[in-house]
Structure 1
Amino acid sequence: MKLNYMQCWNGAMAILRDHKEAIIALAGVFVFLPTLLMAQFVGQPALDGTEDFNGITAAYSAFFGENAVSIILSNLLISFGGFVIFFTIAPSHSGTVAEDLGKALRLFLIFLLANILTGLATFAGFLLLVIPGLYVACRLILVPMIIADHGERNPLEALKKSWDRTKDNGFSILLLILIIAIVGAITVGVIQMIIGLITGLATGGAGWPLIENLVSSLGGSALQVLFTVVIGSIYYQLTGQESDVGEIFC
């Protein structure tokens, strides 16, 4: 089955519409809040104009060493929140948000192991140049949906099923993800720039870090939610569930 971009986008918007209350609540608690707290209280590595690779590496190593616990906890919360959303939008979903949280918690270790395996496979692809790495990542993009929809407890089997479901669609998925990522990044960047200019003018150049971090965190959270529902829509389409999806997406 070939991926249809228009159907995929319309499906993603319908998923977002039909599950907006649960998605907003989950993204707000597990994605937006940790991102905002990290931006406000941890910040970014102090590069101080460093341009050489060794200097940048040293700055990031020092930053991680000083903030390892915060970084790990934040990323675990964000990953967990995204994982719960996959349960909420899965075709087999039939419970409440509380039940989705319980299911996600029971399978979270499997999800993390599958992510590690996906990362290793993607890294192996990157060793062959950038495009093969991106291609592998796109062939394995359905792993979290497969775990959520089928309760898959074998990480390798989840990777295998994703690879099978995305057959002949790797580059189509790659192009779609790149388009969304580029347009989304430009949109968020422009909004951040405008907010930065406004706060800079209003404060004589000092800016309002909290307002700027709020906007940045909202933009990043919105992009993550968008990618999640797009992956959900790809899953619906490539697993041949158009009839069920049509009822949901009406």
Structure 2
Amino acid sequence: MKLNYMQCWNGAMALLGTHKEAILAIAGVFLFLPTILFAQYVVPPVFNGDEDMSGIIAIYSAYFNENAFSILASNLVISFGGLAIYFSLAPSRSNTVAENLIAALKLFVFYLIANLLTALVTLPGFFLFIIPGLYLTSRLVLVPVVLADQGERNPVELLKRSWALTKGNGFSILLFILIIAVVGTITIGVLGAVVGVVAGLATGGTGWPFVENLIASLTGTAFQLILTAVIVSIYIELSGKKTDIVF
């Protein structure tokens, strides 16, 4: 089955509209909150602009050493929230928010292992001029929704099922997600720049760090929700899963 971009996009928007209460509740607690807390309380690495490669590595090493717990904790919480949203959008499930959170928690370890295996598979491809890595990533992009929809606990089987579902559509999925990613990144960047300029003019250059972090966290969370819904929509189309959602 060939991927239909318009149908996938319409399906993603329909999923977001139908499940908006559930995904907003989960996203607010597990995506937005840790993102803004991290932005507010963890100081990003500071560069002078004249560092060589060893200097850059040293700055990042110090940054990760000083903030290892915060980085790990925020990423785990965000990853768990993302998985719970996949459970909320999966076509075979119609549970409450609490039930989806419990189901995601039970399978979270398998999800982390599957992500680690995905990284191991795709990493060599990124060393080969990036494109092979992106292609491999697009072939394995359905791993979380396969986990949520089918409840498969075997990480290797999750990768195999995603690979089978995306057969013949690897580059189509890659192009589709790249378009969304580029548009989303530009939109977030422009909005952040506008907010920064307005804040700088209004405060004489001091800015409004909290407001800027708030906008960045909101737009980043919205982008993640859209991307998640798109991936679920791709899965629905390629797997032939029936859904009651009207596009």
TM-score, normalised by the number of residues in structure 1:
0.97
In the aligned structure 1, how far is the partner of 2:227 from the partner of 2:80?
Answer: 15
The within-5 A match list for 1:25-64 is 25-64=25-64
Superposed CA deviations along residues 93-136 of structure 1, whole A, max 9, x for unmatched, are 12111010111000000000000000111102113221000000
The answer to whether the aligner puts 1:248 opposite 2:245 as a matched pair is: yes
CA RMSD of aligned residues (A): 1.0
SS in 1 for 2:198: helix
Superposed counterparts of 1:56-135, under 5 Å: 56-135=56-135
- Could you list the runs of 5+ residues in structure 1 that have no partner in the other structure? none
User: Is the Cα–Cα contact under 8 Å of residues 15 and 229 in structure 1 kept in the other structure?
Assistant: yes
Q: Which runs of 5+ in 2 are unaligned?
A: none
Distance 2:194 2:181 in 1: 20
TM-score with structure 2 setting the length:
0.98
- Give 3-state SS (helix, strand or coil) of 1:248's partner: coil
Shift of 1:53: 2.2
The answer as to whether partners of 1:200 and 1:207 remain within 8 angstroms in 2 is yes
2:152 is the counterpart of 1:155? no
Q: What is the correspondence of 1:125-204 to structure 2 with a 5 Å cutoff? A: 125-204=125-204
Alpha-carbon separation, structure 2, partners of 1:167 and 1:37:
40
Report what 2:213 is aligned to. 213
Q: 8 Å contact 1:139–1:163 — kept in the other structure? A: yes
**Closer/same/farther in 2, CA of residues 51 and 181 from structure 1, 3 Å limit:** farther
Contact 1:39 1:213 in 2 (8 A): yes
d(CA) in 1 for partners of 2:94, 2:27: 20
- What percentage of aligned pairs have identical amino acids? 61
1:193-247 residue CA offsets vs partner (Å, 9 max, x unmatched): 1111111111001001000000111111111111100000000000012xx23x3
Deviation (angstroms), 1:48: 2.5
Identify the range of structure 1 (78-87 vs 119-128) with the bigger mean alpha-carbon deviation: 119-128
In structure 2, how many angstroms separate the alpha carbons of the residues matched to 1:50 and 1:156? 45
Letter paired with 2:65: G
* Letter of the 2:245 counterpart: I
Which one-letter code corresponds to 2:199 in the other structure? T
Residue 249 of structure 1 aligns with an amino acid whose one-letter code is V
**How many residue pairs are counted as aligned between the two chains?**
247
CA distance in 2: counterparts of 1:122 and 1:101, whole angstroms: 29
Aligned amino acid, residue 179 of structure 2 = I
